[in-house]
Amino acid sequence: MAFQSEFADNRKLVDCANKDSDHIGERFAPRGPWVVLIKKALNAWAAKQSPAVRQIPVSDLFGADTGDLVALYKSRQTPPLVNFAGKIDRVVGKKTVAALDGELPRRGGVVPPPPPPPPAPSLTMSALAKRDAATSILWARGAISGLTDTRGFIANPSPLAPIPPRLVAVTLEALETHFHISTLSTSRIPFIDKILEIYVKSLGILVGNTAFFIDDTTSAESANGTPAHVPLASGKVNFTPAFRERSGTTGFGPGCRAAMVLHEPVHIADHPAASNGANHINENAAAYARQPALNQLHNAHSYASFAQQVFFNGNDTRFGIGKPEQ
Ligand SMILES: [Zn+2]
């Protein structure tokens, strides 16, 4: 017979396949490179068995463990490989060496590539949000700086510098765009103070997000595909499997995620007013531009969008769930 595996390169195994007297066992030619090949083939077979069969150390000595495995191998063939007396023995003869040849890959054939390593574990939803919070924190700090300077500019008008500095000008414009400050009938200072208070609380939640951001795979919101939400009065921002990086037509881009991560803490910082439907108007809805200042004061969407406009030096980007690809 002709071997298909590297058995073909070993003279002793070729002889074993052709002559009964060249069999191999604990008492027949028990040491040599052919034993290494026999053990490789036995181990290749053992690795495929279910339940698992213990493999043996590969050496050039045909020991008792080799004899045991040969006997097991023979007994598991269909039909079992029995000797002239109809018994399973511990010796590799013509039939066994031919069968073992089939356990090894074809000589010179393409060795199958190793299985790909398992993919790196992807971030959980809340872990992704914690990473995204770095951006949300920058935006919130920008908003707080702009509001602080603007409050000072309004509270202490300088007759010598009637033109506001750039940050104050940007902030005043963003206050109009997202909080409609011109619709106020009362003083602007306490209004700005209230916005500042909500930003400072939200920033605290973003900085201490480990205590606030959790995964949610079980709620009705999760089943509906809502990426992030704060169950009423729970004090926790829930991130669902829909909250993930953009891929194809699902998930959300980094700007969109950072906006959501800034939006949700406002629901905790300004509870319960921020969760009142009359206040909670999306930044892309037509009604957004018509909301009075006292409603926008409690609109989480206003906080996410205002912070961007100040941070991006007057650019009204409105990253958010309405722009999932950004
Ligand atoms: Zn919301």
> For the domain that residue 59 is a member of, what is the CATH number?
1.10.101.10
Q: How confident is the model at residue 112 (pLDDT cuts 50, 70, 90)?
A: low
Whether residue 256 is contained in a domain is answered as yes
Instruction: Assess whether 87 and 225 both reside in one domain.
Output: no
Question: What is the residue-averaged pLDDT of the chain?
Answer: 94
Q: How high is the pLDDT of residue 101?
A: 97
Instruction: Assess whether 38 and 160 both reside in one domain.
Output: no
Domain interval for residue 50: 6-101
Instruction: Point out the least confidently predicted range of 75-84, 138-147, 153-162.
Output: 153-162
Instruction: Assess whether 199 and 268 both reside in one domain.
Output: yes
Task: Give yes or no for residue 120 having a pLDDT over 70.
Answer: no
Instruction: Assess whether 77 and 132 both reside in one domain.
Output: no
Task: Give yes or no for residue 141 having a pLDDT over 90.
Answer: yes
Q: How high is the pLDDT of residue 107?
A: 84
Whether residue 143 is contained in a domain is answered as yes
Bridging pattern class, strands 237-239 and 228-229? antiparallel
CA distance 90 to 325: 67
Instruction: Assess whether 218 and 137 both reside in one domain.
Output: yes
Instruction: Assess whether 181 and 295 both reside in one domain.
Output: yes
Stretch 123-152: mean pLDDT: 96
Q: How high is the pLDDT of residue 260?
A: 98
Instruction: Assess whether 129 and 232 both reside in one domain.
Output: yes
Whether residue 21 is contained in a domain is answered as yes
CATH for 277: 3.40.390
What percentage of the chain has pLDDT greater than the value 70?
A: 98
From the CA atom positions of the chain, what is the Rg in Å?
A: 37
Whole-angstrom CA distances from 284 to 19, 272, 298, 323 are 86, 23, 17, 10
φ, ψ for residue 81, nearest 5 deg: -90, 95
Domain tally, the chain? 2
Rounded (10°) angle between helices 94-101 and 33-47: 60
Ligand 1 center from residue 275 Cα (angstroms):
7
Ligand 1 center from residue 230 Cα (angstroms):
8
**Burial track 266-292 (b if 16+ CB lie within 10 A, e otherwise):** bbbbbbebbbeeebbbebeeeebeebe
Ligand 1 center from residue 135 Cα (angstroms):
18
Instruction: Assess whether 213 and 285 both reside in one domain.
Output: yes
Whether residue 291 is contained in a domain is answered as yes
Whether residue 325 is contained in a domain is answered as no
Instruction: Assess whether 204 and 299 both reside in one domain.
Output: yes
**CB 130, CB 65: distance < 8 Å:** no
Ligand 1 center from residue 215 Cα (angstroms):
17
Whether residue 118 is contained in a domain is answered as no
Stretch 289-297: mean pLDDT: 97
Ligand 1 center from residue 71 Cα (angstroms):
70
The predicted-structure confidence for 238-278, as pLDDT tens digits, reads as follows 999 999 999 999 999 999 999 999 999 999 999 999 999 99
**CB 25, CB 90: distance < 8 Å:** yes
Give the residue, 115 or 76, on which the prediction is more confident.
76
Helix (H) or strand (E) holding 155: helix 125-155
Q: How confident is the model at residue 115 (pLDDT cuts 50, 70, 90)?
A: confident
Lateral strand order in the sheet of 228-229: 213-215, 237-239, 228-229
Q: How confident is the model at residue 118 (pLDDT cuts 50, 70, 90)?
A: confident
Instruction: Assess whether 96 and 169 both reside in one domain.
Output: no
Stretch 91-116: mean pLDDT: 86
Ligand 1 center from residue 176 Cα (angstroms):
21
Reported in sequence order, the residue ranges of the chain that DSSP labels E, i.e. its strands, are: 213-215, 228-229, 237-239
pTM for this entry? 0.64
Whether residue 307 is contained in a domain is answered as yes
The predicted-structure confidence for 165-211, as pLDDT tens digits, reads as follows 999 999 999 999 999 999 999 999 999 999 999 999 999 999 999 99
Stretch 86-103: mean pLDDT: 96
Instruction: Assess whether 67 and 160 both reside in one domain.
Output: no
CA distance 114 to 23: 34
Instruction: Assess whether 142 and 272 both reside in one domain.
Output: yes
In the DSSP assignment, the letter for residue 105 is P
Q: How high is the pLDDT of residue 158?
A: 75
Whether residue 320 is contained in a domain is answered as no
Ligand 1 center from residue 265 Cα (angstroms):
9
